Amino acid sequence: MSRFILAASIVLGIGTAALAAPAPSNTAIPDFAGIWWHPSLPGPEPLDNGPTGLRNIMRRVEDGASDYARLVGDYRNPILKPDAAATVKKFGEMSLAGEVFPNPANQCWPEPGPFIYKNFGLQILQRPDHLLMIYDQDHEMRYVRMNQPHPRNLKPSWYGDSVGHYEGDTLVIDTVGIRADRPFAMLDLYGTPYTKSLHMVERYRLIDYNQAKEAIDRDFKENFHAAAGIIDRLYRGKHLQVYYTVDDEGVFTTPWSATVTYGRGVTDWPETACAENPHVPYGEDEHVPTAAKPDF
């Protein structure tokens, strides 16, 4: 664990001691320290009411949850504009034909929000002027500047420009500028596209188990628990929940929202690296990131 934190510190160009330093005593902010896990794929918990994310049309016979072996997003969901619905339908047909279509995760590319919720593990390293959000697979990291505006001349990037602030016990993160001119530009495991207009607002909050239970029940009803063994099923302490809203006028007819609810786990932080495999059983081989020249 210490080596991992040190590596993250080096990425930021600051020391481990600086990361571990407590916040000023005159600020009352929630403490998100520790390792948080959710066990589910495709991941997010669609809301029972209002515009929400896509569900998998294909369900498992044994429990009615999402059939992860057949990922067919509900292209009839009214949040999708016609072109986006056609894209989701196309990827669903590929999945039904037994093809594992390429996405950022299986092609080892950076994962945009909210695709990045596919990762099971999350750590948040907090400082007064910034946050570092670390995900357990492929060393994905998001940097959040606190109490600052988005730059006027924003240059799109893999994870976009994220700025945050606290509203009482809630961490609010506003993200824009996620690169759309890239391979595998999709928001979820159903292949839902996005454009340069993508805007995501996340609200992170620590909640009691009784408050989290409704979302946990939605999760069990909706998702396949691919990593159930890493979750402490007897844990009844504080949970971490993100309620997020996605808006993209080029893809969606309306903003929509969903949740992801994290609990505590029973395992240490893993080292997980993506094994690049550009060879696919259909069409042309995929293009993976390559350097134009050696680093040294």
Among the listed residues 133, 137, 117, the one whose alpha carbon sits nearest the alpha carbon of residue 258: 117
Which residues, including other chains, have CB under 8 Å from residue 18's CB and lie 6 or more apart? Answer: 9, 127
> How far is 244 from 202, CA to CA, in rounded Å?
4
Amino acid 179: pLDDT: 97
Domain ranges of the chain: 30-262
> How far is 282 from 253, CA to CA, in rounded Å?
33
Amino acid 280: pLDDT: 58
Amino acid 24: pLDDT: 41
Strand order through the sheet with 161-167:
36-37, 121-126, 130-135, 141-146, 161-167, 170-176, 199-207, 239-247, 256-262, 45-46
8 Å CB contact between 141 and 160: no
What one-character DSSP code corresponds to residue 17?
Answer: H
Amino acid 11: pLDDT: 39
172 bridge partner residues: 165, 203
> How far is 67 from 87, CA to CA, in rounded Å?
20
Amino acid 137: pLDDT: 87
> How far is 274 from 233, CA to CA, in rounded Å?
28
**First and final C-alpha spacing in the chain:** 28
Global confidence as pTM: 0.84
Positive/negative CA dihedral, 66, 92, 42, 106: positive
Residues of the chain under the 50 pLDDT cut: 1-26
Amino acid 233: pLDDT: 81
Positive/negative CA dihedral, 245, 248, 251, 253: positive
- List b or e across 167-188, with b for residues whose CB sees 16 or more CB atoms inside 10 angstroms: eeeebebbbbbbbbeeebbbbb
Measure Cα distances from 156 to 49, 93, 191, 195, 261 in Å: 33, 31, 21, 11, 28
Alpha-carbon Rg for the chain, nearest whole angstrom, is 19
220-248 pLDDT per residue, tens: 999 999 887 888 888 999 999 999 999 99
> How far is 134 from 37, CA to CA, in rounded Å?
12
Distance, CA of 161 to chain centre: 15
Cβ-in-10-Å burial (0-12, 13-18, 19+) of 142 comes to buried
> How far is 58 from 96, CA to CA, in rounded Å?
9
User: What number of other Cβ atoms are within 10 A of residue 202's Cβ?
Assistant: 23
- The SS3 call for residue 67 is coil
55-85 pLDDT per residue, tens: 999 999 999 999 999 999 999 999 999 999 9
